[in-house]
Amino acid sequence: MTRPTMESGASSPLLLGLVLLSLFSVGTVSAQQKFGINYGQIANNLPDPTQVASLLRSMNVNRVKLYDADPKVLTAFANTGVEFIISVGNENLQTMATSPGAARQWVAQHVQPFIPATRITGIIVGNEVLGNNDTAMAASLVPAMQAVYDALAALGLSGRVTVSSAHSVNVLASSFPPSSGAFQEGVAQYVRPLLDFHSKTGSPFLINAYPFFAYKGSPASVSLPYVLFQPNAGVRDGGLVYDNMLYAQIDAVYAAMKAMGHTDIGVRVSETGWPSKGDEDEVGATAQNAAAYNGNLMQRIAMGQGTPLKPSVPIDVFVFALFNENMKPGPASERNYGLFYPNGSPVYAINAGTAGSGDGGGSSVGRFDPYSSQSMFSAASRLVAVRRRLSSLTLLLVLPVLSALLAC
């Protein structure tokens, strides 16, 4: 392909589009640079991974979590600089725990061929294994994690790729007040060696935390502003004040780990989000609430904010999810967590500049904006969106430059 040059009149519109897209991405979407996103694929209408790569790059999203190790996705994101966390399915744990060779084979097939072109930085071994009454799988968790870690070490990759597992916040028997955080008695025997593994390898403890479920279950007693990061009186725990439930859940995990003798392990939120639609009995599942939850969360991420217990440690979050997934089982909400429809258009507008502002004000650090039914995978519609988002001041500054480019 011929590289566009300043001398080519036919390339000027493309150059103009790229300049505008660059200005839009750098100037207004800074919040998206500091959070990760879950890329689920339980659907039959999702775009090709190469299109997804373009979408995420236009948003400045640089961290993605997969629920498998799809080679098409990993290949599509080669040389993009996007960091990937890939996953070992629950169905593989018992085999890996008893046969380290299975872990070596998995790493040789799903990691080694893609590094370094694709930046695989983490492997999640199992999802929400603890607390589901499957004792055989629970007992296999840490041995499987160790087998994957050893396989990476044998290839010299253990310093580049971390090994962890994702847990439901329901592994906690107590989460409020946060300082009383404690693991369920039934999972304690599995958590102790798990924490020792994290401590030894330097990997984080991952939680899937959804304040939506708390609100859905008790809308009369759970404050909506409290779960949406909106202005509220907050709740006090000793000398600490919590103005949102997610931070309280994170700090409850820190307290639970401390009770088991560990203060040397970080907590990362591997999943959190809010559905834009649900069944009639799913209170709070609306696009307005989803936009508020994710937008206000992104604002806090952009601020580098920490929790009350760990104010100097910025929250580390992977939002769920990139797309609505039409084949997920369960209530309607399960199919409506996506920020985007499969055609690439946003499900709702996200203004990531409204955290802590009752009137929707605040500094603008990023905005997703649905524009009719146009697809973000259309170059023309992307340019329309960019033009709509640029401020008149920015246009005044760049128009002379653009005019000069078009004149060439």
Asked if residues 52 and 79 have their Cβ atoms less than 8 Å apart, the reply is: no
Token pair, residue 368, equals 């997703």
- 173 phi and psi angles, rounded to 5 deg: -80, -30
Q: Which is catalytic among the residues 83, 91, 185, 271?
A: 271
**91 among known catalytic residues:** no
Calculate the CA 362 to chain-centre distance: 23
Neighbours of 254 (CB within 10 A): 22
Q: Which is catalytic among the residues 7, 91, 128, 334?
A: 128
**271 among known catalytic residues:** yes
Cis peptide bond upstream of 321, omega within 30: yes
Task: Count the residues in the chain.
Answer: 408
3-state secondary structure the chain: CCCCCCCCHHHHHHHHHHHHHHHHHHHHCHHHHHCEEEECCCCCCCCCHHHHHHHHHHHCCCEEEECCCCHHHHHHCCCCCCEEEEEECHHHHHHHHHCHHHHHHHHHHHCCCCCCCCEEEEEEEEECCCCCCCHHHHHHHHHHHHHHHHHHHHCCCCCCCEEEEEEEHHHEEECCCHHHCEECHHHHHHHHHHHHHHHHHCCCEEEECCHHHHHHHCCCCCCHHHHCCCCCCCEEECCEEECCHHHHHHHHHHHHHHHCCCCCCCEEEEEECCCCCCCCCCCCCCHHHHHHHHHHHHHHHHCCCCCCCCCCCCCCEEECCCECCCCCCCCHHHHCCCCECCCCCECCCEECCCCCCCCCCCCCCCEECCCCCCCCCCHHHHHHHHHHHCCHHHHHHHHHHHHHHHHC
Residue with tokens 């991420």: 301
The catalytic residue positions are: 128, 271
